[in-house]
Amino acid sequence: MSDSLLLLAMLVVPALGAAVVAALPGDREATAKQAALGVSLVVLVLAVLAALAFDPDGERFQLTSSVPWIPGFGVDFALGVDGIALVMLLLVGVLVPVVVLASWRDTSPGRRSMRTFFAWLLLLEACMVGVFAATDVFLFYVFFEAMLVPMYFIVGSFGGPRRQYAAVKFFLYSLVGGLVMLAAVIGLYVVSEAAGEGTFSFTALNDLDIDPTAQRLLFLGFFVAFAIKAPLVPLHTWLPDAGAEAPIGGAVLLVGVLDKVGTFGFLRYCLPLFPDASREFAPLVLVLAVAGILYAALLAMGQSDMKRLVSYTSIAHFGFIALGVFAFTTEAGTGAVLYMVNHGIATGLLFLVVGMLIARGGSRLVGDYGGVAAHAPKLAGVFLVAGLASLALPGTNSFVSEFLVLIGSFPTRPVFTVLATVGIVLAALYVLLLYQRTMHGPPRGVLFPADDDATAGTAVPEPGHAAGATAASPAGVTTTGTAGTATLTRAAGVATRVRDLSRREVAVVAPLVALVLVLGVYPQPLVRLVEPAVAATMSDVGAGTPDSSEGTD
């Protein structure tokens, strides 16, 4: 095997970084942040190097390295990437430094040092790299489970008021899924053992011919774990809680990357290893996928908590990804992989900007905001870009993936595709309702305490209010002023001026905004990386590009 140490380095660097940050004395928070940022940037550079070293038309798995780990059971510490895993590594590489920078001013809700937070973050990065880069099923399982621990602590120690509940719920769901998958992993080994040599190597397992009954059972084992992770309805209810209670940085990585392990698992493990079962169960999965698109979109509209709302939109998006994967065409599959990346960027951006709003107002409720656009145009602009990417407007990255999923699914699955397409109307509704309620209208809510009773529910604010705005008050301020001071401030024509994005915040969102636009106009570089791997997967499952000259109706 040709050895490349790049992937190993991507794994070891953040793991070591985590250890170093964790070992820092408790009062060295600034050093911890800088170290975390530095380490995550190194990983980003390594990811880019990996992408440059990767030949899309070459072997399926590249940058491989392997050492025997538990020789008795044929377990290897084997790393390698195909195009699909590679783009996920790139996503990890981009998102982690963004998250570090976004969490720069976060404070821990308890008395814990934020140093610990950054240490967990780096450990999480190492686990995420491992889970995508593993080419040994057992190793994949280890990372799949290990990933839970840092995320558990990120949610449980640094999250919102109900963080403990959310963290445990997240843990239990994942635990159940993980256990079921463990059984399937062992089952897979048993099957390989029966067929000759016991192995966990993906490549070897892929060559096996597994009998249909075993395929069904093993498929279900993996599927349940993945369907919990990238939650498909009805296994989704842990995500809104976790997404709402996680600190913003954690939520970005949870929804942006961690959940994609589920859809990645569909593509990497379910389809190639159990092709017959995949075809058999596809209608069921598609029902769940499309139900999720519509159901979660409707639920998103009904949420009053912004972070829950974004979580529900993600569940709808996972429905699109599952549709793309189980439509069994190269176009839809490629769309699904791009969707995984683009959703990480777009929803990551949406979570970040929602977090910036929450940092100013101290409330997660949609109803506590209003009219922000007039006072913080940059914040509103980024909010809109994130929202438009979320509703897959052409010109943003998400359009390319959603369009590919739908146009690629239509030839094989017209009915499901038509139903899913209705989802684009619902997406417009939930995004624009959120945007209108928080950004448009007269200024009101927690950010404009003095104006509360003056303008709430009335039409246009007096021009003087905006013009006479003075000193910014600190974020998180609430209506604690007595009636007397409120009258005073109103008489003086003072409205709280909302801080627009700071330079740090601009640095946080700028890379993602740029990616939204660049990948929306010129997605081909990503497509080139992904398409061969998807085509290989689809040929494993006995499908591929639909013969479009023959219609299916």
SS3 464: helix
Which span (249-257, 264-272, 427-435, 478-486) binds other proteins, by CB under 8 A?
A: 427-435
In order of 26, 254, 485, the CA distances from 21 in angstroms are 10, 21, 46
CB of residue 530 to other proteins, shortest distance in Å = 9
User: Is the Cβ of residue 104 or residue 141 nearer to other proteins in the bound state?
Assistant: 141
Nearer Cβ to other proteins (65/390): 390
Helix, strand or coil, per DSSP, at residue 396? strand
**Span of 4-12, 202-210, 352-360, 421-429 interacting with other proteins by CB under 8 A:** 421-429
For other proteins, which residue of 167, 188, 210, 224 counts as binding (CB under 8 A)? 167
Exposure letters 221-237 (e unless 16+ CB within 10 A, then b): bbbbbbbbbbbbbebbe
Handedness of CA 197, 203, 207, 212 (dihedral sign): positive
Considering the complex, state which of residue 361 and residue 546 has its C-beta at the smaller distance from other proteins: 546
CA gap 366, 435 in Å, rounded:
9
Among residues 37, 49, 73, 216, the one that binds other proteins under rule CB under 8 A = 73
CB of 424 to other proteins, least distance (A): 6
User: H or E segment at 89?
Assistant: helix 83-102
The smaller minimum CB distance to other proteins, of residues 100 and 218, is found at 218
On whether the CB atoms of residues 268 and 84 are closer than 8 A, the answer is yes
Interacting span for other proteins (CB under 8 A) from 246-254, 356-364, 386-394, 479-487: 386-394
The type of residue at 202 is F
Q: Could you say whether residue 518 binds other proteins (CB under 8 A)?
A: no
* Cβ distance to other proteins smaller for residue 80 or 408: 408
Residues numbered 95 to 134 that lie near other proteins (CB under 8 A) are none
Q: Are 116 and 157 in contact (CB under 8 A)?
A: yes
Q: By CB under 8 A, which span of 13-21, 79-87, 422-430, 481-489 interacts with other proteins?
A: 422-430
Q: Evaluate whether 356 touches 507 at the Cβ level (below 8 Å).
A: no
Q: Is there binding between residue 546 and other proteins (CB under 8 A)?
A: yes
Shortest gap between Cβ of 377 and other proteins (angstroms)? 8
According to the binding rule CB under 8 A, does residue 5 interact with other proteins? no
Q: Which residues inside 332-361 make contact with other proteins, applying CB under 8 A?
A: 334-335
Under the criterion CB under 8 A, does residue 301 sit at the interface with other proteins? yes
In the chain, DSSP finds a helix count (H) and a strand count (E) of 24, 2
Binding mask 191-210 for other proteins (x = CB under 8 A): --x----x------------
| Residue 511 engages other proteins in binding (rule: CB under 8 A) | no
Helix (H) or strand (E) holding 234: none
Q: Per-residue string for binding with other proteins, 260-299, x by CB under 8 A? A: -----------------------------------x--xx
Does residue number 314 form part of the binding site for other proteins (CB under 8 A)?
Answer: no
Q: Report how far residue 546's alpha carbon sits from residue 379's, in angstroms, rounded to the nearest whole number.
A: 44
- Is residue 150 near other proteins by the rule CB under 8 A? no
Residue 456 interacting with other proteins (CB under 8 A) = no
In this structure, are residues 145 and 127 in contact, taking their beta carbons and an 8 Å threshold? no
**Phi then psi dihedrals of residue 131, to 5 deg:** -65, -35
Candidate segments 9-17, 80-88, 163-171, 269-277, binder of other proteins by CB under 8 A: 163-171
Taking CB under 8 A as the criterion, the residue among 22, 287, 494, 535 binding other proteins is 535
Minimal CA–CA distance to 130: which of 211, 215, 65? 65
394 preceded by cis ω (within 30°)? no
Question: 475: part of which helix (H) or strand (E)?
Answer: none
What SS3 string covers 499-520? CCCCHHHHHHHHHHHHHHHHHH
Rule CB under 8 A: is residue 395 a binding residue for other proteins? yes
Out of 40, 215, 303, 489, the residue judged to bind other proteins by CB under 8 A: 303
Q: Please tell me the distance from the alpha carbon of residue 518 to that of residue 514, in angstroms, as a whole number.
A: 6
Determine which residue in the list 107, 436, 470, 479 makes contact with other proteins, applying CB under 8 A: 436
Q: Please identify which residue in the block is written with the tokens 């963080």.
A: 163
The interface region with other proteins, picked from 76-84, 262-270, 403-411, 484-492 by CB under 8 A, is 403-411
Q: Would you count residue 173 as binding other proteins (CB under 8 A)?
A: yes
Write down how long the chain is.
553
**Residue 522 interacts with other proteins (CB under 8 A): yes or no:** yes
Contacts of 495 (CB under 8 A, 6+ apart): 443, 448, 450, 451, 465, 466, 468, 469
**Binding of other proteins by 69 (CB under 8 A):** no
